Structure 1
């Protein structure tokens, strides 16, 4: 199975997508399943995981509605307020939605200490009790806090989005690798090969600039804990879908057929319990 483990849909409204600034005009429009499906078909991908881009229950419901209408949207990573005392009650409401696989919050927009507060940890423990995964969206400087977080939740399945956004444009990798390594030692932590082109120079990146980060991720996590994600449509700021996929396809062509299969779909299928 070939899966795009990380993409977004949205009905663009400036007030909801304030992070889309003047330099991002290309993605200031609606992006629907009808825009993505031809790309998945063209490049022989069996389906995708739709990930939240707005922090609201309305966003979770919107993505679940799309998944109900489109069988190839294999799973949804929604949003929930993990610090809420009513979290368990809210999760009960989602019991009837088998395509809801996990949750995510825009942790990169908050103080790193936010994820270490007691009620956040309690929320993660509630997610674990219900069988949900959690996507971690952070910058490299948050990785010390992420290590503390995963130590406090040793049984929770996590995936780090976009390789924790290393500073590719600056060519920096040593500190990122140093702080990612102890996290990768924990077997329930996975990582998405996604979001790389937008951390590089949007207009002047090339695959040779990305490969060192891919090599480090492969060394740290191994193919069975890595998963391809396009980060479409955000990736369009720097590259077409075909280019993003092509970098990972070429990189994984150097691996065995089995190793490539894990990165291109099997890891996502297992992590998000798609079958």
Structure 2
């Protein structure tokens, strides 16, 4: 069941240049709201940046202004740029700007130290003052720096994308080191986590157990600070949408009704300041099963 899918992507390579898509095979074509509807049914979602331009941000906000199926938009901003917050303020003042609920500045492998840069810290603090969430997409070796930044900024709502599963080479090293590095971040009460984007680490030969990943995330964050996200359409490289939902439903099958409501929508509402009506549970999703 899902009230809000807290992590989907929409893109059109004909409108915006997403360099990474050029080598992404089948993903390198438009993925629009109609495509999401065909895959997922009448889901309400948070649309997360796939590119790094203001034009893409305006495009996503325009889509949100035209469709109640987009509950909010997480845009890209270079938080090391002193002009980043002014750009964000300008977008929020434009038509459709009220849908801007979060900002993401991906931290790649080897870039973790930038989370300690004075300008980045000033930008993060400014986003907290504006009530905007900060999504953390963390590359290899960046979990400790993310924990330090979040620990120093308790006024900022941080959202850990994809369980930070790419911050440690879990296929090579197993889940122990990932869990050890994730735990201090997950114990911070202003940090929530998305149960999303696990296919890269769990699918195929050598993949870690999806259930074991879920058990760690439930232990570290608790169900009331977890949010379901499909990571569609990136997730289609490993599983159809309904199987992603079904696998999550199976992993979360032991939760109470209130805990399940949090994962399937309530956590996203709180983290992003969304309209609570957007989190109404679609009970049809409880019957979708999958093993991926």
TM-score for the superposition, normalised by structure 1:
0.91
| Cross-structure match for 1:5 | 6
| Cross-structure match for 2:197 | 195
How far 1:13 sits from its partner (Å)?
Answer: 5.5
How far 1:200 sits from its partner (Å)?
Answer: 2.7
The alpha-carbon distance between structure 1 residues 248 and 205, as it changes in their structure 2 partners (threshold 3 A), is farther
- Contact 2:40–2:242 at 8 Å: present in 1 too? no
CA distance in 2, matches of 1:104, 1:110: 17
- Contact 1:20–1:28 at 8 Å: present in 2 too? yes
The alpha-carbon distance between structure 1 residues 170 and 21, as it changes in their structure 2 partners (threshold 3 A), is farther
| Cross-structure match for 1:182 | 184
CA distance in 1, matches of 2:59, 2:109: 23
- Contact 1:162–1:191 at 8 Å: present in 2 too? yes
Query: What is the 5 A alignment of 1:132-147?
Result: 132-147=132-147
The alpha-carbon distance between structure 1 residues 29 and 265, as it changes in their structure 2 partners (threshold 3 A), is same
| Cross-structure match for 1:18 | 19
* Unaligned residue ranges in structure 1 (runs of 5+): none
| Cross-structure match for 2:288 | none
- Contact 1:227–1:265 at 8 Å: present in 2 too? yes
How far 1:48 sits from its partner (Å)?
Answer: 0.1
CA distance in 2, matches of 1:259, 1:39: 26
Instruction: Say which of 31, 54, 57 aligns to 2:54.
Output: 57
- CA RMSD after TM alignment: 2.1
| Cross-structure match for 2:65 | 68
Alignment length (residue pairs):
269
The alpha-carbon distance between structure 1 residues 181 and 140, as it changes in their structure 2 partners (threshold 3 A), is farther
| Cross-structure match for 2:286 | none
How far 1:20 sits from its partner (Å)?
Answer: 3.4
| Cross-structure match for 1:268 | 268
How far 1:117 sits from its partner (Å)?
Answer: 0.6
How far 1:205 sits from its partner (Å)?
Answer: 8.1
| Cross-structure match for 1:113 | 113
Query: What is the 5 A alignment of 1:124-273?
Result: 124-166=124-166, 167-170=169-172, 172-201=174-203, 203=204, 209-273=209-273
SS at 1:75 equivalent: strand
TM-score for the superposition, normalised by structure 2:
0.86
How far 1:83 sits from its partner (Å)?
Answer: 2.2
CA distance in 2, matches of 1:21, 1:188: 36
Please give the per-residue CA displacement for 1:20-74, whole angstroms capped at 9, x wherever unaligned. Answer: 364x312111100110023332xx63x0000001111112111101111111101
- Contact 2:134–2:158 at 8 Å: present in 1 too? yes
